Amino acid sequence: MATVNIWVYDVTHAWHDGRIPPRFIAGCDYYPGVHFAGYVGEPNPFSTTEMVHFNTPPGGPTISDLPLCNVLVNADYLINMPIVKIHPFTGVSLGFKNHFGSFDRCDYAHVYTPGCPTDVHTCYYDPNYSPLIDIYTQAHIRNKTILTVGDCLFGAWSDPTWIPLPWATFGNGAPNSLFFATDPVAIECVMTDILAAETTVMSETDDFLSLAGEASLGVYERGDPWSSGYQFIDYIRAALT
């Protein structure tokens, strides 16, 4: 019998430090093959050789190469599991921004996001550049990601730090939905459209999605997930009872 060796990680080290909630760990007591890694409590969270390289545009600050977490470097496969939510810095926080928990000092990338917090940064947003693309094209992320699972059981259309609120587009209840895709860009577009149908998503959000398509990371297309759907994305809705 093959040994199950699953790691769940968040090594965020910036304005706050990644910490795995104790309830997550306790919930896996019966699954000894599941392990957890956060920045807090990890003696050596980051690689000394594997980095994210940022191709920052002229006129803005250079972001030095930043190290990936060892859990990701040592992994054979990666399943990305973002929560479907909006974000004041990037418009949405989905599979691409989920990797802010995969490397050291992700806050350095905030100066190039459209909602850059001006109270702590000088901002250099450029619609033709996104650090999210540099992060996702890193070989350990791009080549190892076999599946993206979007968690929209509750989601967060109002604020990423609030408790979940009802969604008008889901009958004033919880969405109770999951999204699955092997194409990281296609699912990012669909989840963004789901959020845009519920609330206002900053228009600049589309910039990084189109850049991801141009970088051949997947299929870029904006559409209507509730009606006409998509021309190029194979979008299938399934109601389970």
pLDDT of the residue at 1:
54
pLDDT of the residue at 35:
93
Give the residue extent of every domain in the chain.
48-214
pTM (2 decimals)? 0.94
Paired tokens of 99: 């990797």
95 close to 150: Cβ distance less than 8 angstroms? yes
- Give the residue from 122, 117, 101, 90 showing the smallest Cα distance to 38: 101
Residues 6+ apart with CB under 8 A from 156: 83, 84, 85, 86, 162, 164
Q: For every one of its 241 residues, what pLDDT tens digit does the chain have, with 9 covering 90 and above? A: 566 689 999 999 988 888 898 998 898 888 888 999 999 988 899 999 999 999 999 999 999 999 999 999 999 999 999 999 999 989 999 999 999 999 999 999 999 999 888 877 789 999 999 999 999 999 999 999 999 999 999 999 998 888 999 999 999 999 999 999 999 999 999 999 999 999 999 999 999 999 999 999 999 999 999 999 999 999 999 988 7
pLDDT of the residue at 2:
61
- 39, 43, 45, 116 from 104: Cα distances, Å: 9, 14, 9, 19
Torsion angle (degrees, nearest 10) of CA 105, 84, 205, 190: 130
